[in-house]
Structures are given as C-alpha cells and as structure tokens.
Amino acid sequence: MTIPFSILDLATVAEGGTLSEALANTRRMAIRAEDLGYNRYWLAEHHGMPAVASAATAVLIGHVGAATKTIRIGSGGVMLPNHSPLVIAEQFGTLEALFPGRVDLGLGRAPGTDMRTARALRRDLDQSAQGYPQDVLELQAYLADPTDERTVLAVPGAGAKVPLWLLGSSHYSAHLAGMLGLPYAFASHFAPDDLLGALEIYRERFQPSAQLDRPYAMVGVMSAIAETDEEANHLFTSAQQQFINLRRNDRTLFPRPVKSMDGIWSEQERIGVEHTLRYAIVGSPETASRKLARFLADTRADEVIVSTPIHDIEARLRSIELFAGLRQEMAKAA
C-alpha cells in the first residue's frame, strides 16, 4: 500500500519577484497539488524573513482554501506560543466553517523567527515554552463541544473539532504527541538528527485518544526533481544558498540558482548544510525514487510532506508533478 503525499509551502518570495507574485504562486501550487492527488497543503508560520510570505498563516490558508475544492488545508504549523489559544481556535473555527472537513491545525512551540522578533510578537519566551502543553489542551478544549463548565466560548470554534497535529524537530513533541494521542509530524527536512529516535518515542509512548486510535507519523523532506540529476542539483543551489544566508543572518529574498556553490560557501558551511539537508530528495525521477524508497523504509512513515525550495515557479510546479509520479511508481511496484 502506498502512503499519502502532501505539500508544505512557505509562500516563497523569490529574488526578482514580489510578495503579490509569491501569494499568487502559492495559489497555483495548491491548485496543481489538488489536481495531482496530494493529500494536504500546509502553510508554515515564519516571521521577519523577507523570503517567506506565510506569516499570517490562517489568512493564507483561507486563500488556498478558496482556490481548491477537496485537498486538505492547514498549518505546518502555527507556532502556538506566539498566540492566544482562544484566537487560534476562532481563526481555525472560521476556516472550518468556510471549508468544512478540510482543515488541519498543526502546532509548533518554536517562535518561527529570531529572538528579537519573537519578543516583538509579545511573547514571554520562558513562560511560553513552559506553558506549551497547557496551551495545546486549552486550544483542544475550545474546539471541542461546549460544556456547562466552560465559561469562555470560541465563536467560531466551539464544536469545530479541527484535528490537531503536533510538529517537532526534537524528542519533546514526540513525547507530548504520544501522551495526548495526536498525529505527529517531524521536521526532518531541516532537522534530521533526532528523526528516528523521535519516531520511536512517539510510537512507543502513544496513548489512544478521541481523535486517533493508533500512531500516525508524517515526515518532512525537501525536494527538487527535474529531468536530469544535473538540472535538479542546479535548482537546489537556491536552497543551499538560503541556508547559508540564514546561518549568516543575511536576510534576503529566495536566491536564484547558481552554476556552482564553490566560492559561495566555506568548507565548514558546506559540511553543515549538507548534513542538515541530508534527507533531501534531489535528482532525476530515477534518482529521487531510490532516495525516497530508502527514506521511507528507514522511517516507516504513514505520510510524507514535501517542501520544494525552487526559485522558478514553473520548475517548482514541474518538481511537484514529478514527485507525485514517484507515488504512482511505488503503487506499481507494490
């Protein structure tokens, strides 16, 4: 049996492009993803990054929802400590009313930005981190059916029962997702080190809940697929440059691809980026198929979510088409 494929989008603002073009490209991507049979289309909350236009995550989910009909839409994720649980319940209760049965609410506990911007978001950084489990439970209660004991109502939100996901890049959220009986998504597309250990913890500690009766784990990959390995590797230099820029705190738009990374990164930077992106599925369809098969065999994932950091929108659309084709090949092989 083949597993579902989904898409993670950051509404990338490309060098030479505009915010409006980035948001229009997200719309095109979502429509094409639905046509190709992808299961979910998630947007990620980030702040203070010129290359990322998905800060107002719930607003952008509505943009995607209005452009599509069947694909699930949601957050990958909302950084809950940045927000009041009541406000998130109202936002996602509204989305569920607009797009019934299609909305997911993925939650993270990182700020999704640098510390100065996090403070500008009015976060009490220490308290927010410590209160994350309680915030998840509070949000879950707001989205449940109202009771006589609950004096604060989320309207919209109460009774919406939007499914919650916990996102993580370490063991912390694996423990919490297992304890609460929630589906779990691991950010292996940029944080590979704890992947296998976190999945093991999640599966071992999982307790059935009203939402989920067995563990369900989704894993993230970055991908750039083209007709040849050479072209795919060329396209992926944009992502490699962006990771170098982030490590240097150089806030730029998403860079154009280059012929070679030589002279752009130091040897130490190269080693670091290649380690961080070691699960990336980059290459021709044949190469990508082999890499993906190994990755799925190692993780035993229930679903895979792909981020496609490619500068040119036409090449990005072609990449998600070729990635969807990998699932078809897996189905034939099965």
Average pLDDT over residues 84-101: 97
Question: Distance between CA atoms of 196 and 298, rounded to whole angstroms?
Answer: 8
Q: Indicate if the alpha-carbon torsion angle 26, 27, 28, 33 is positive or negative.
A: positive
> What pLDDT shows up at residue 269?
96
Question: Distance between CA atoms of 291 and 284, rounded to whole angstroms?
Answer: 11
Question: Distance between CA atoms of 305 and 59, rounded to whole angstroms?
Answer: 21
> What pLDDT shows up at residue 148?
80
- Cβ atoms within 10 Å of 253's Cβ, excluding its own: 21
Average pLDDT over residues 97-125: 81
Average pLDDT over residues 273-286: 97
Average pLDDT over residues 112-136: 73
Average pLDDT over residues 201-226: 98
Question: Distance between CA atoms of 83 and 167, rounded to whole angstroms?
Answer: 16
What percent of the chain stands above pLDDT 90?
87
Average pLDDT over residues 182-198: 96
> What pLDDT shows up at residue 328?
78
Which residues are bridge partners to 204 per DSSP?
Answer: none
Candidates 71, 55, 137, 69; CA nearest to 104 is 71
DSSP characters over 71-134: SEEEEEEEEGGGS-HHHHHHHHHHHHHHSTT-EEEEEE-S-SS-HHHHHHTT--HHHHHHTHHH
Using alpha carbons, list the distances in angstroms from residue 301 to 105, 183, 216, 326. Answer: 19, 12, 8, 16
Q: What does DSSP say about strands 164-168 and 40-43: parallel, antiparallel, or unpaired?
A: unpaired
Q: What is the pLDDT of residues 42-71, one digit of tens each?
A: 999 999 999 999 999 999 999 999 999 999
> What pLDDT shows up at residue 149?
82
Asked whether the predicted pLDDT for residue 112 surpasses 70, the reply is no
178, 196 Cβ separation under 8 angstroms: no
Average pLDDT over residues 263-269: 96
> Locate tokens 């040897």: which residue?
267
pLDDT classification of 80: cutoffs 50, 70, 90: very high
Q: What does DSSP say about strands 217-225 and 281-283: parallel, antiparallel, or unpaired?
A: parallel
Q: What is the pLDDT of residues 146-162, one digit of tens each?
A: 888 888 999 999 999 99
CATH 3.20.20.100 fits 5-333, yes or no: no
Angle of helix 19-35 versus helix 57-67 axis, rounded to 10: 50
Q: Residue 30 corresponds to which tokens in the numbers above?
A: 């979502």
Q: What are all long-range contacts of 272-275, with beta carbons under 8 Å and residues at least 24 apart?
A: 272/247, 273/240, 273/243, 273/244, 275/192
What's the count of helices (H) and strands (E) in the chain, helices before strands?
A: 12, 9
Average pLDDT over residues 22-30: 98
Question: Distance between CA atoms of 291 and 324, rounded to whole angstroms?
Answer: 14
> What pLDDT shows up at residue 327?
85
Average pLDDT over residues 69-74: 98
Average pLDDT, the chain: 94
> What pLDDT shows up at residue 334?
63
217, 223 Cβ separation under 8 angstroms: no
Which DSSP helix (H) or strand (E) runs through 217? strand 217-225
